[in-house]
Structure 1
Amino acid sequence: MFGLWEVTQMKMKHLLSIRTIIAILTLLIILGGVLLGSSWSDARRSQASADHPIYKYYTTVTVEDGDTLWTLADAYMDDQYQNKREFITEVKQLNQIDENRIHEGTQLVIPYYSAEYL
């Protein structure tokens, strides 16, 4: 027979193993959701590309008075970007811009997409 102390320890070990299993399952579910969401987003983009190829091109734009990265995003961003921040980040990388301000007269390389092969 087991004493009260041994029974209590066995219950605690059992409870600890159940909690561990629940924690691992929870982490797996969260990780699965993140991976599924990310692959769904990529699949949506690649499906559009598989049906009709989309080509990426670049153009040069001269910054005019009053232009900002946000107004350029409004004018040139298309559906290939999830949001303006993604577009602006790429424009900044292409043009080696560290700050968020652009100056009149500066020429910027702007990406754009087209189904037309040039």
Structure 2
Amino acid sequence: MKMKHLLSIRTIIAILTLLIILGGVLLGSSWSDARRSQASADHPIYKYYTTVTVEDGDTLWTLADAYMDDQYQNKREFITEVKQLNQIDENRIHEGTQLVIPYYSAEYL
């Protein structure tokens, strides 16, 4: 009898722990989204595209360093979009290739 009660307490503790972790993740995610939307409401941000020619030594990561801004959560998100826009399946880019690169600006063009 005591063993069943002990297992129930462990199960309850495990469930509560998971709920707390899940709640923290959801709260952090919604806070991040709220911060982004608040910035957009204060000053509209417009998404544009430019074309760049890949130079010797360029990688998707160096292009992310040069063109990525705060609208992206991380480099991987930016690189994924660049790969989709340019229909690139691999992580290598070649010198002389022209790529479409997204960027954001508060200026309306």
Fold conserved (TM > 0.5)? yes
Matches of 1:109 and 1:22 in 2, distance apart? 51
Aligned to 1:95: 86
SS at match of 1:66: coil
User: Scaled by the length of structure 2, what TM-score is found?
Assistant: 0.89
Q: Extract unaligned runs of 5+ from structure 1.
A: 1-9
Matches of 2:8 and 2:58 in 1, distance apart? 60
How well do the aligned residues superpose, as a CA RMSD in angstroms? 1.4
SS at match of 1:88: helix
Deviations 1:53-111 (Å, cap 9, x if unpaired)? Answer: 11111111111222221221122111212222221121111111111111122111100
SS at match of 1:112: strand
Matches of 1:22 and 1:74 in 2, distance apart? 44
SS at match of 1:109: strand
Matches of 1:15 and 1:42 in 2, distance apart? 41
Q: What is the aligned length?
A: 109
Deviations 1:4-26 (Å, cap 9, x if unpaired)? Answer: xxxxxx32222222222111111
User: Scaled by the length of structure 1, what TM-score is found?
Assistant: 0.83
Choose which of 6, 11, 25 in structure 2 pairs with 1:34: 25
Q: Extract unaligned runs of 5+ from structure 2.
A: none
Matches of 1:16 and 1:74 in 2, distance apart? 51
Matches of 1:30 and 1:84 in 2, distance apart? 26
SS at match of 1:16: helix
Select between 12-21 and 85-94 the one with higher mean Cα deviation. Answer: 12-21
